[in-house]
Each structure stands twice: as C-alpha cells, then as structure tokens.
Chain A
Amino acid sequence: MNKKDFYVGLLFLLLTGAIIVLILRSPSTQDFSGPGPFFFPTVAAVLIGGLSLTLLVKSVKQTEAVSSPIQGKRIWGRTLWIIAWCAIYGATIEKLGYLLSTGMVTFALLAYFSRGKWVFNIVLSIATPILIYILFNTLLKVSMPKGFFGF
C-alpha cells in the first residue's frame, strides 16, 4: 500500500464530507432560473470526493515505495522556526509597525540561519526593512502600517 497517497485520499474525503455538511446547513436560495449559489461548490465537492476515492483505491493496490522530495537529513527545527516567525510577523506588523516588526523578523531569521555573523546580521536587519519600506511606501505608493510608535 502507498501510505502517503492513502492518507491524502482519506484527508480529501473528509474535506468532501465537511464541504457537503456546510452546503446542507446553508440556506436554500433557488430563486432564479439557473442553478443556485451552492451548485458549483457541490460540483467541486463531488469532484474532490470522486478523485480522492480513486486515489484511495489506487493507493491500496500500489506496492512500490514512494521517495520523499527531500534528500538527505531533515532539520525540522528550521521549518518550525520559520513558520513561528511568519506567524509572529503577521501578529506584530500592525501593532509594532512595519519597520520594527520587519527588522525583528529579519534579525530572528538571520540570527538562526547565519549564526555568528552578528555585525552582518544587524546591518542587514536594519537595511532590509528600510529598503523595502522605501520601495513600497515611497516608490510604489503603497501605505505600510505605522504601529504604536508612529513608524
């Protein structure tokens, strides 16, 4: 059995079930000549369900091992560090302001991935938000959040 495909099929079957439950709970609005607003989501759900079921059945029949796209040793800590700082970035971008939050996130990532080079990391953590701010705010006229401190 191809376990990866089996679990993918199962996950999308569950998603199909969830979509159908949400559709059934929605108010009926068949008030014009064509199909209603939930017709297309239903078609999409049926397609997802049918295809995931096919994948599930196929995975049970498969015997060969499936290789991972990642070669060599995995370093999970790095993945988790990036995801955590992405979430922190989202949480702080409006509260701390663009410059401060971007500088903080840049430094946190550089400090982890480019350890020991403190001067380089600090210079880049200051320069990166300023450069991107100038690019977006000044050149492209896209307003960036100012936060508590007014910058």
Chain B
Amino acid sequence: MEVLDKLLYGFSVALSPANFLYCLIGVFIGTFVGVLPGLGVMNAVAILIPMTFGMNPTAAMIMLAGIYYGAMYGGSTTSILINTPGEAPAIMTTLDGYQMALQGRAGPALGIAAFGSFIAGTFATVMLMVLAKPLVKVALSFGPTEYFSMLVLALCTLGGLMGESVIKGLLMAAFGIFLGTMGIDPVSGVERFTFGVPELMDGIGFLPVAIGLFAITEVLLTAEQEMMRPVVEKIKGLLPSVKDWMASKFAIARGTVIGFLIGCMPGGGATLASVVSYLVEKKFSKHPEQFGKGAIEGVAGPESANNAASGGAMVPLLTLGIPSTGVSAILLGALMLYGLRPGPLLFEKSPELVWGLIASLYIGNILLLIINLPLIGIWVQMLKIPFSKLLAFILVIAITGTYATNNSVTEVYISVIFGVIGYFMKQVNLPAAPVIMGIILGPLLETHFRRALIISQGSYATFFSHPISAVFLCAAVVSLLYPLIRWAIQKRKK
C-alpha cells in the first residue's frame, strides 16, 4: 500500500502541466533522435543537459529519461523502413523488420515493435517500483568501504564490456579516472594537474567532455561521409493481426524479462539485451529458418528487450547511484550537476523527483505509443531531412550548451579538444563511454576510498574485512579475469 501511495503521489507530480509537457517534449525528442541515424541518444542527452539548468530537477530528469526510452522506440522505425538502426540497440530489428517491410508488412512490424516496447517498458517500471524498496534498504546499510568496492565492480564490468576489447574499455575507464582527479583535491586543497589555469581548479566537468566525445565527434564522423538517403515506402495497416499477436506473445514476454535483467546489470545495456533476446527467440522457435527472412518474433523480442533494458537501467541508477549503461552514467552526472546525491538517500530526500520520475515512465510509455503509431508518417518525413542541414544546428546547440554550463570559453575549448580526441578514438576503436564513466565515478571512488581509510585509521584490510565489500571486490576480479577464463575453457575444448 505504501508503494501505491507513493506512486499516486508520483502521478500527482508527473501529471502537473509543466512536468507532463516536459515528458512529452522528452519522448518526442527521443523518438526524433532514435529515428535519425547518426544522432545517438548519448549525444542528445549530453547536448540537452545544459538546457535543463533553468528547470527544476524533477522536470529535467523526466525530460532526459523521456529522451532515453523515446530513442529506444524511435530506433526501430529506421531499422524496419531503411535497414539502418537509428540506435545501436535496434540493430537486431533490421534483420527481420526490414525483411517484413520488403514483403509489404512494414505496418505490422512497426506496430508489434511499438506494442512490445510499451509492454516491456511498463513491466520494467513495475519492477523498478517493486525492487526499489528492498534495494534501498540494503544500500542504506552501506558505508564508504562498501560503496568503494561497489564502484570498483561497476567500473570493472562497465569498462570491460563497453566496446570490442576489454583492455581498451578498461584503458579508457582508467583515463577517465585520471581526468576526474584534475582540479583541487577536496581533502587537502592541493592543486592537481591544473597547469595554472584557473578554470581547471574545479576539475574537468563531465559535460564538456561528454559533449565533445559524443556530439562533436559524431558530427565530425558523419560530415566526412556522403550521406545517402534511401527512398521510404508508404505504410499501411499498423495494427498487428491476431496471428501476429499469437506469434509474438511469448517473444515479447521473454524479451521483456531478458531485457530487464540485463538492463539492471552493470555493462548490460539495451544492445546486449536485444542481441540475447534475438538469439533466444531463434533457439525457442519451431521455425528458426524463418529468422532473417521476416519472422515477427525477431522484431517483437529484441524491441521488447531493448525497452525493458532502459527501464532496468533505472533500478541501479536510482537505488544505488550506480549507472549500468553509458546513458545512465550521463543521467547520473546530470543528477550531480543539479546538486543531488544519487543513491538510496535520493528516495528519502527527493521523493518528488524519484516518484515523479517513476510515474512519468508510465505516462511516457503511453505517450510513445500514441506518438509512434498514428504519427508514423511524420517520422518517415523526418528521415528525409539531410544531415548537412542538421549538422550546423547540432554543433551550435552543443557548443552553446557547453558555454552555458559555466559561462566559460575554456569549457568550449575542452569540448572541441575532446571532440577531436573522440574522432581519433573512433578511428582506433577506443570506446568513449568508459571515459565518461571514469570522470563521473572516479571522484566518487576516491572520496569513498579516502573516507574508508580515515575510518579504518589507514588499514587497507577494511576492504576485505567487510563481507559485502569483499564480495564486490572478488566479483570485480572475476569480471576482469572472465575473458581469460573463457579463453582457457575454449582452448581446453579444442
């Protein structure tokens, strides 16, 4: 009953005219971002954070979260219609969605993707409510020792799983941690790597780096290629038939559960969720040979999974203050910029934000269903906007946002420098998300580490004498050794 009371309170917050409008704007921008190939959700969230500074944090988080799951919805449209995923998690949808479109069944493919996403998104929100209380209770018992170890685990798993190579992911996370140490040390007041630049006294903010690494890099990469726009067909009959529903119902159910569980895990993310869901569906199917040739289960499962994963990512973010994906890392950074401390105390100190956000997830899912199906024609028209027209607008918005954060030209230069660094990182397949993770989690890691040592009077054994901390650290070691273990097992099998 207590949860229901809080949810009702959340609805009263989320349904206020201003918050409802921001939710609508968020899901609309999210769908737009998802529909346009080349403009990722991380770019959009990073660019739009400065615009939320004048807003109250609840409205800002409602809008940013709307962009996040809106992009998951929108990503399927381009996968189905032009065989190009608008977002990485929609990549599996291209396999069968585009085949369905070639067979004249683009409508049912878009319809089942939208309904599956709605069901999965709603389930993930219910699970977030159910799991929030017990997780918060556990997290409240954590001290700096446990927090430090949990952050180590998060960085090891996230850094290792983002990108093609574990070493490169971890290298980028370590680079991010180093960047996070720049500025005045909060304990001793000593300057670290500021090179006498006054603007660096407060350290390098995550936002100029994120805007540089994601938005400016993306513009640079897209600009150097000739963009070809495919011809988009007309779409008829968006509602899936009874036969389509019967074929998709278990795929949606499985995709939802798989997506939610993977979304909760550090390093899981929506892309992994949709890949696993597709493979599971193919394995469970009586006609696996149909996959890749227009099987509706191949659309329903992954689309449900990627939406459930974005809902699942909210669980560790809100309850523990730990991001499980790159986007949730940026959302975590946004919460910190608003002066809030993400984690279990957020439920006690900012119930308006937490429950308003949870209620907005329900509302956002309904809004997405409405704006994705009847308005599909508008999204199809948006596919025709040449990127060359958007490029100048995206760049100007990105740089304005960087400047507006602290009215600092230095931060504009930092963004541009990281835009160039990000461009070269892409050329050598270095992932950018772990750098942001390192910058955001690094200072937290250092603070908890030093607090734990002060409490234990300098004894490093404290990290192993606390059972929960020891478990987290062991899990971190296992996650680092996992590729080695897998390699050894594969070698033995051969």
Chain B residues with CB under 8 A of A82: 219-220, 223, 391, 395
Q: Are A75 and B404 in contact (CB under 8 A)?
A: no
| A140 CB → nearest B CB, Å | 3
Q: How many residues of A contact B (CB 8 A)?
A: 72
Partner of B392, one of A40, A87, A94, A124: A124
Q: Are B399 and A89 in contact (CB under 8 A)?
A: yes
* A98-B397 Cα distance, complex, nearest whole Å: 12
Partner of B413, one of A48, A78, A90, A98: A90
Chain B residues with CB under 8 A of A114: 386, 388-389
| A16 CB → nearest B CB, Å | 9
Chain A residues with CB under 8 A of B175: 12, 15, 48
* A105-B457 Cα distance, complex, nearest whole Å: 56
Q: Are B167 and A58 in contact (CB under 8 A)?
A: yes
Knowing A48-B175, A89-B399, say if A4 contacts B412 (CB, 8 Å): no
Q: Does B396 contact A (CB under 8 A)?
A: yes
Q: Are A136 and B428 in contact (CB under 8 A)?
A: no
| A95 CB → nearest B CB, Å | 10
Partner of B223, one of A51, A68, A79: A79
Q: Does B446 contact A (CB under 8 A)?
A: yes
Q: Does A109 contact B (CB under 8 A)?
A: yes
Chain A residues with CB under 8 A of B450: 34-35
Partner of B453, one of A35, A38, A75, A113: A35
Q: Does A150 contact B (CB under 8 A)?
A: no
Partner of B429, one of A38, A66, A71, A86: A66
Chain A residues with CB under 8 A of B188: 29, 31-32, 36-37
Q: Does B347 contact A (CB under 8 A)?
A: no
Closest to A47 in B: B174
Task: Indicate with 1 or 0, residue by residue over B214-233, a CB within 8 angstroms of chain A CB atoms.
Answer: 00100111011110000000
Task: Indicate with 1 or 0, residue by residue over A71-115, a CB within 8 angstroms of chain B CB atoms.
Answer: 111111011001100110111011000100010011001100110
Q: Does B53 contact A (CB under 8 A)?
A: yes
Closest to B386 in A: A114
Q: Interface majority SS on B: helix, strand, loop or mixed? A: helix
* A35-B177 Cα distance, complex, nearest whole Å: 17
Knowing A26-B190, A93-B403, A102-B396, say if A47 contacts B177 (CB, 8 Å): yes
Range for the number of chain B residues in contact with chain A: 35 or more
Q: Does B54 contact A (CB under 8 A)?
A: yes
Q: Are B409 and A93 in contact (CB under 8 A)?
A: yes
| A58 CB → nearest B CB, Å | 7
Knowing A4-B427, A34-B453, A40-B446, say if A94 contacts B226 (CB, 8 Å): no
* A50-B396 Cα distance, complex, nearest whole Å: 39
Closest to A111 in B: B392
Total residue contacts A-B, CB cutoff 8 A: 188
Q: For window 133-151 of chain A, which residues contact chain B by CB distance below 8 Å?
A: 135-136, 139-145
Most B CB contacts (10 A, CB to CB) among A12, A68, A142 go to A142
Q: Are A142 and B54 in contact (CB under 8 A)?
A: yes
Q: Does B244 contact A (CB under 8 A)?
A: no
Q: Interface majority SS on A: helix, strand, loop or mixed? A: helix
Chain A residues with CB under 8 A of B220: 79, 82-83
Chain A residues with CB under 8 A of B53: 140, 142
* A143-B406 Cα distance, complex, nearest whole Å: 10
Q: Does B467 contact A (CB under 8 A)?
A: no
Partner of B178, one of A5, A19, A136: A19
Knowing A37-B188, A136-B404, say if A51 contacts B170 (CB, 8 Å): yes
Q: Does B129 contact A (CB under 8 A)?
A: no
Partner of A106, one of B216, B223, B396, B420: B396
Task: Indicate with 1 or 0, residue by residue over A1-32, a CB within 8 angstroms of chain B CB atoms.
Answer: 00011011000100100010010001101011
Q: Are A128 and B407 in contact (CB under 8 A)?
A: no
| B156 CB → nearest A CB, Å | 11
Q: Are B396 and A40 in contact (CB under 8 A)?
A: no
* A58-B228 Cα distance, complex, nearest whole Å: 38
* A19-B386 Cα distance, complex, nearest whole Å: 44
Chain A residues with CB under 8 A of B442: 40, 44
9 A-B pairs with least C-beta separation: A140-B54, A37-B185, A109-B392, A47-B174, A44-B178, A113-B388, A90-B412, A51-B171, A34-B453
Binding site for B on A (CB under 8 A): 4-5, 7-8, 12, 15, 19, 22, 26-27, 29, 31-38, 40-41, 44-45, 47-48, 51-52, 54-55, 58, 66, 68-76, 78-79, 82-83, 86-87, 89-91, 93-94, 98, 102, 105-106, 109-110, 113-114, 124, 128-129, 132, 135-136, 139-145
Could you write out 29 A-B pairs with CB less than 8 Å apart? A8-B168, A8-B430, A19-B193, A32-B187, A34-B187, A35-B449, A37-B188, A41-B192, A44-B181, A47-B170, A51-B167, A69-B426, A74-B224, A75-B225, A78-B224, A82-B220, A82-B391, A83-B220, A86-B399, A89-B396, A91-B409, A102-B396, A105-B392, A113-B388, A128-B393, A132-B400, A136-B404, A139-B54, A145-B407
Given contact pairs A34-B453, A132-B400, a sample of 6 additional A-B residue pairs in the complex whose CB atoms are under 8 Å apart: A34-B458, A74-B224, A90-B413, A98-B400, A142-B54, A145-B403
